[in-house]
Homo-oligomer: A and B are copies of this chain.
Amino acid sequence: MEAADQQDLSLKLFVVLSRAVQTITKRVEEDIKKYGLNPTEFAVLELLFNKGDQPIQKIGEKILLASSSITYVVDKLEKKQLLARKPCPEDRRVTYAVITPEGKQLMASIFPHHKAAIEEIFGGLDAEEKELMITQLKKLGFYAKGL
């Protein structure tokens, strides 16, 4: 194949990928908004809910957010009483974000609906197609990351 055609194919994939993700993300955000949270707040709570308490620093790494942004989101969730800050005794530079009982309760009531919503949004593909896409996306992401 010509090099120019290859480039056009990659460009097209990039466009289609961006479009699909924008559409899907919009749907997911609509779903999350129903629960009174924005996507970032939800991501933080989901992390704490499913993976346990985290140093504030780690949250930023996991959900790819700048440290200053994390401070902002954690402040908001703290005001909403959905999480609390807890100083780390071993390393006094570190502060843990700890999900509160209210936060747990909220997530426990939200998460099943959230999963069902995503299942619906991804209904365009069957199980086998999803498996394959996961494999291919991992390959793609892995390669892009290593550049």
Contacts and interface: CB of A to CB of B under 8 A. Distances in A.
Given A13-B130, A27-B147, A64-B22, A140 B118 contact: no
A129 B13 CA distance: 10
A141 to B, nearest CB: 4
Contacts of A22: 64
A16 B137 contact: yes
Nearest to A19: B141
- Count of chain copies: 2
Contact of A140 (B20, B140, B144): B20
Interface string A125-147: 10101111110111111111101
A14 B118 CA distance: 8
